[in-house]
Amino acid sequence: MYSHPGVKTAPSHPVPETMKAWVLGDPDELKLIDKPVPVPKKAEVLVRVDAIAICATDLDVISSGPPAMIQGGKPFNKNFTPGHEYMGTVVALGPGVDEFAIGDRITVEIHAGCGQCKRCRMGMYTSCHNYGLNYGDVDKGHRANGFTSDGGFAEYAVNNINTLIKISDEMSDEEATLVVTAGTSMYGLTELGGLIAGEGIVVMGPGPIGLLGVAVAKALGAYPVILTGTRDNRLETGKELGADYVINVRNEDAVEAVRRITGGKGVDYVLECSGAQEAINESGRMLNRGGKICLAAFPHDPALIDVAHLVRNNIYIYGIRGEGKSATHRAHAFMAEKRFDATKIHTHTFMMEELPKALHYARNRIDDAIKVVVKMPQRRAELEGRRKTG
């Protein structure tokens, strides 16, 4: 059985020597193989992955590589396991770890910065200067699970203690996988500088981050909260999560609609989650002077931007990567207090062996899929055992 110097385990949560894990071969090629269960080091724990949500960035990594970086390059054919939006149970403690206990249910952040560069010391660990430098003879301590180190499409994963959030038994596995998405939305609003009650915001793009951006903004007291998009079903979900107005951009001009709603003034903030070609220019025209734009999407092509309009109107632009500055902890607090129901974006569930099908549903939005969650077999067996003994 699993036994390593300095690593604490417990009979209540036995750990095998090997695990099932999906690894990336060529682009869009995933294989389910046996891999050694990873070993936590100082300030790390071993997590039994119980559930993992699929993110659009996972689809990009699997198909094209970036923003993943393994051994200094693209992640293909390097025994790499993708996936980053997971939750699970702590089953082993690295040397000196006493911040968590075996058996704790947790959900995760993605990034653990090196802790020593200028950005990490500022709390900007998602902008770590040592991003990806953890291969060969170089190990600066940075980790981004599912991007620069193995992720959660496996039965077990190692996490730095700084990336863990304890969750209660009242929060379902599926909801817990959504905390990191809500944390990304929260981070965007944090970077915009203190969204407060009564200030207006437009959320562009009703994907998972955009929809939970609506929920977080509403929980913070924003008004009006306006959601734009092209799919009526997703816009309706946005209403359920707190949008005061929704705009289908196929039916009306979004800038004109926002100006009409705000009496010609525009809003204070735009959270841009669509990645559309004209998104920055449209965002600028939706804003009041001195407004702020947060870019939370990864566009695939360069955009032509009307910089003069942004300058004349004193508009600020912020880019975010992931869920930095402990925003995931704040988002979890909102979810635990039932400030909003993140499960409204969870539409489909599959088992681990069905991952290719789950990815197909997420990529092609089969049956109006928004957030697809993959459950692990060991968690299913545990829950079934509890039902039988209960």
Residues of 104-114 as b/e, b for ≥16 C-beta within 10 angstroms?
Answer: bbbbbbbbbbb
pLDDT of residue 299: 82
How many residues are recorded in the chain?
Answer: 390
3-state DSSP percent of the chain in helix, strand and coil, to 5: 30, 25, 40
pLDDT of residue 177: 98
Whether the bond into 40 is cis, omega within 30 of 0: no
pTM listed for this prediction: 0.93
Question: For the segment 289-334, what is each residue's pLDDT rounded down to a tens digit?
Answer: 999 999 998 888 888 999 999 999 999 999 998 888 889 999 999 9
CATH of region 18-110+145-166+341-389: 3.90.180.10
For tokens 């080091």, name the residue: 41
Give the whole-angstrom CA distance, residue 46 versus residue 16.
12
Task: List phi, psi (to 5°) of 186.
Answer: -60, -40
Question: What is the secondary structure of 115-130 as a DSSP string?
Answer: SSSHHHHTT-GGG-TT
First to last CA, the chain: 29
pLDDT of residue 332: 97
pLDDT of residue 75: 97
Alpha helical stretches, state H, the chain: 56-64, 118-121, 173-176, 179-191, 208-219, 232-240, 254-261, 279-286, 307-312, 327-336, 355-364, 377-389
Question: For the segment 201-257, what is each residue's pLDDT rounded down to a tens digit?
Answer: 999 999 999 999 999 999 999 999 999 999 999 999 999 999 999 999 999 999 999
Give the whole-angstrom CA distance, residue 106 versus residue 20.
21
The SS3 of residue 23 is: strand
Q: Characterize the bridge pairing of strands 85-93 and 316-319.
A: unpaired
- The superfamily (CATH) of domain 192-319 is NAD(P)-binding Rossmann-like Domain (3.40.50.720)
Which one-letter amino acid corresponds to residue 162?
A: N
The count of other CB atoms within 10 Å of the CB of residue 212 is: 29
pLDDT of residue 325: 85
DSSP state of 38: P
Digitized pLDDT (tens) for each residue of the chain, 390 residues in all: 789 999 999 999 999 999 999 999 999 999 999 999 999 999 999 999 999 999 999 999 999 999 999 999 999 999 999 999 999 999 999 999 999 999 999 999 999 999 999 999 998 999 999 999 998 888 999 999 999 999 999 999 999 999 999 999 999 999 999 999 999 999 988 877 766 788 999 999 999 999 999 999 999 999 999 999 999 999 999 999 999 999 999 999 999 999 999 999 999 999 999 999 899 999 999 999 999 999 998 888 888 999 999 999 999 999 998 888 889 999 999 999 999 999 999 999 999 999 999 999 999 999 999 999 999 987 665 655 555 555
pLDDT of residue 380: 60
Residues 6+ apart with CB under 8 A from 228: 202, 203, 204, 205, 206, 246, 247, 248, 249, 254, 274
Q: What are the extents of the domains in the chain?
A: 18-110+145-166+341-389, 192-319
Cβ atoms of 16 and 39 closer than 8 Å: no
Cβ atoms of 220 and 237 closer than 8 Å: no
Structure tokens at 48: 């039994």
